[in-house]
Amino acid sequence: MVRKSVTIREDQAAFVEDTHLNFSSWARDKIKTWYEEGEEFPSSRKKRQAPMERKAIRIGENLDEFLYEERVNLSHFLQDRLDERMELERKLGGE
């Protein structure tokens, strides 16, 4: 296993804590799904000015090599996936 450091927004970190989401397992699952399904990663994204927080995850060496070959910003990828999850939770919660 390879340890990776990622940065997520503070509101995302609060969501992870409030929902008791095992961030490392969740992140690993999202990366693995991307790896297996061949999803395209957006080449550009809007920058947000927001307070950030560091998180650590562990991934297998094969996923680490995949991320290196794709030259992806792992923090951006996981921030986008967290935004999707947060939106889904809002919809399910009726907010």
For the segment 9-25, what is each residue's pLDDT rounded down to a tens digit? 999 999 999 999 999 99
For the segment 26-75, what is each residue's pLDDT rounded down to a tens digit? 999 999 998 898 776 655 556 667 889 999 999 999 999 999 998 888 99
Domain ranges of the chain: 2-93
Distance CA 63, CA 4 (A): 11
Distance CA 75, CA 71 (A): 12
